[in-house]
Amino acid sequence: MINRIRAIRKQKGMTLAEVAAACSPATTAQTIGRLETGMRNLSLVWMNRIGAALGVDPETLVKGEDTATPQVIARLTETGAEALTAPRDAILPSELVDGGALVCLSIETSQGEYRSGDQLWMRQVSPEDAASLVNRDVLAPRSGGRFAFGRLIDRQGALVGLLPPGIGQRQIVIDNPAWLAVAEMLVRKL
């Protein structure tokens, strides 16, 4: 079994010390380093502690040796594409879940900045978090199994105001939605 602690930690932009401090109970950066490199055995207890500290499912920290994973092989800099000194595992966005469930909005008709064929991956959040989502694209459930999508422009009490991305569309006001899903990642085929 190969562990992916270092790859996930780097993808999240965390240092060994930050992961160690985020563990409950806290540990040392040296211990996390030893677990990353395999100098210390990664037990289920450690998998749970480090998974919680990184905000991922514990099983994401390990992979079977036969499992083929996407690789990061190059980076694009000001001077052009450069090879990495060694390829590293690419951690899929769905494995880096922090918070609510991921949902996907499939774009079938181009509207605003979205093109037909796009997939907009969104994270479900509580409506109480709406104040921090102003000027972000969100999806909200409506009565009768319908949805509303647009830029969150207003939040007053239980009312949420969305401006759809299409030209000439009017603001949609939703009273007390059960949840909101905020856009996190756009997937567009080339």
Please tell me the distance from the alpha carbon of residue 46 to that of residue 43, in angstroms, as a whole number: 5
23 against 89, higher pLDDT: 23
The average pLDDT across 45-59 equals 89
| CATH classification code of 102-187 | 2.10.109.10
pLDDT at 95: 63
**Using CA of residue 176, residue 177, residue 183, residue 188, what is the dihedral sign?**
negative
- % residues pLDDT > 90 (the chain): 24
Ordered by start, the domain boundaries in the chain are 2-94, 102-187
Tell me the per-residue pLDDT of 104-144, one tens digit each, with 9 for 90 and over.
899 988 888 899 999 988 888 888 877 788 899 999 998 88
**Does 31 score more than 90 pLDDT?**
yes
Chosen CATH of 2-94 out of 3.30.1330.200, 3.20.20.210, 1.10.260.40, 3.40.50.10260 = 1.10.260.40
Cβ-proximal residues to 27 (8 Å cutoff; 6+ apart), any chain: 20, 49
**Does 92 score more than 70 pLDDT?**
no
Q: Kindly write down the DSSP assignment for every residue of 22-48, as one continuous string.
A: HSSS---HHHHHHHHHTSS---HHHHH
Cβ-proximal residues to 128 (8 Å cutoff; 6+ apart), any chain: none
The average pLDDT across 52-80 equals 79
- Whether pTM > 0.85 for this model: the answer is no
pLDDT at 62: 84
Tokens 């969100």 belong to residue: 138
Strand partners, 106: 119
Please tell me the distance from the alpha carbon of residue 163 to that of residue 160, in angstroms, as a whole number: 10
Please tell me the distance from the alpha carbon of residue 96 to that of residue 73, in angstroms, as a whole number: 20
